[in-house]
A = this chain, B = another copy of it.
Amino acid sequence: MLQPELKLRRDKIRSLMAQQGIEAALITCNANLIYTYGCVVSGYLYLPLHSPALLFFKRPNNITGEHSFFIRKPEQITELLKEQGLPVPTKLMLEGDELPYTEYVRLAGLFPDTEVVNGTPLIRQARSIKTSIEIEMIRRSGMAHSKAYEQIPSVYRPGMTDIEFSIEIERLMRLQGNLGIFRVFGRSMEIFMGSVLTSDNAGYPSPYDFALGGQGLDPALPGGANKTPLKEGQSVMVDLGGNFNGYMGDMSRVFSIGKLSEEAYAAHQVCLEIQEKISSIARPGIACENLYNTAVEIATKAGFADKFMGTNQQAKFIGHGIGLEINEVPVLALRMKQELETGMVFALEPKIVIPSVGPVGIENTWVVTNEGIEKLTNCNEEIIDLEAFYKQEE
């Protein structure tokens, strides 16, 4: 990562710190280190309001540079700050929503005379407005993601189960450079590379706040494919995370085994219509709840209110900010007053689950521009018939 870019990101955080009278930040969680330091290390970035950031690192042991200090334990930080002539901050922020309790208490204890506050919401706010380099990285990620998705029909074989289909698509994603790891904000939401859902498994309620659930292969990892065979007349939705360079792109596409019911095609068109409508009204200044309400209104008018965003358990959002993590700010949800701002990046995912057919709908990654929003994940959005494709290739 180039230094000017890191400086820009750090200054975005500093500017919010200044508004709250916070004189320094101690940053150590991986996504925030990638954001402010450009890579993952085992260590701490100390970010003062008015002087350059310092890195205190434990591993790897080959870090060099003027502002880098090897430490064995965080207790050495305060002494090193003193040696560098830095004042003890009056107010310091730690990653309170991310650091484990005992680690937070330990780090706060290094600054006994300092007011320590939770800096996670502030850093998430800074991260919600992407820099032009970040947008370019997400754009490239979207291109790789699309390239992998375009090959999906070629890996389908009759008789496959959802998990076998998923495994072949995971491989396509990895061959395109997907790093595999799926970063989620918060301790609880776990998922492997994403989900491939067919038939009524799409309505299986999830313990998580993902758009759709799925039973999964084992109670130890609920969500996604559950060995349902891909059968004639069923749809299958592919929704894998697009982490090609640290940034989580998000994209869903729907396939069919032969022909689906008329209702399923109609529902799919409703989702495309929602996407079309939202992309025409979304722009800086619009409240997220307006977008959510617009989507629900269209789905309801079309008669899909009870199948929109799930059946047994319905998600109360239609999109979510994305970046280094899959669930960033803003959230396009009920009662969410937050307004879109230029530079925000989000996934928009209107989806409908048709009982005994499966999921339909669409998901793309969008960036908010000065004038509106622009799609970063471009590939065929219609339902592709895998069986027809297979027969044609044979």
Contacts and interface: CB of A to CB of B under 8 A. Distances in A.
Interface of A: 1, 28-30, 34, 38-43, 59-62, 94, 96-105, 118, 120, 163-164, 167-168, 170-171, 174-175, 177, 179-181, 183, 186-188, 190-193, 204-209, 213, 216-222, 243, 245-246, 312-313, 324
B101 A220 contact: no
Contacts of A191: 181
A119 B20 CA distance: 34
A114 to B, nearest CB: 16
A287 to B, nearest CB: 24
A183 B99 CA distance: 17
Contacts of A62: 205, 312-313
A42 B39 CA distance: 31
A120 to B, nearest CB: 8
Contacts of A177: 217
Given A29-B188, A40-B190, A99-B100, 9 more contacts: A28-B188, A30-B188, A40-B222, A60-B206, A60-B313, A62-B312, A97-B102, A99-B101, A181-B190
A99 B100 CA distance: 5
A181 to B, nearest CB: 5
Contacts of A174: 163, 167, 170
B217 A246 contact: no
Given A206-B59, A207-B42, A207-B59, A100 B102 contact: no
Top-5 shortest CB links A-B: A220-B246, A39-B219, A180-B192, A60-B205, A101-B104
Contact of A39 (B39, B40, B208, B222): B222
Contacts of A181: 190-192, 221
B179 A171 contact: no
Nearest to A168: B171
Contact of A219 (B1, B28, B168): B1
Contacts of A34: 219-220
Given A171-B171, A179-B217, A100 B59 contact: no
A274 to B, nearest CB: 24
B29 A187 contact: yes
28 contacts: A34-B220, A39-B222, A40-B190, A40-B219, A40-B222, A42-B188, A59-B208, A60-B222, A61-B312, A62-B205, A94-B101, A97-B103, A98-B100, A99-B101, A100-B187, A101-B103, A101-B105, A102-B118, A103-B187, A164-B175, A167-B174, A170-B174, A179-B218, A179-B220, A180-B221, A181-B190, A183-B190, A220-B245
Nearest to A189: B42
Contacts of A97: 100-103
Contacts of A175: 164, 167
Contact of A60 (B94, B98, B120, B213): B213
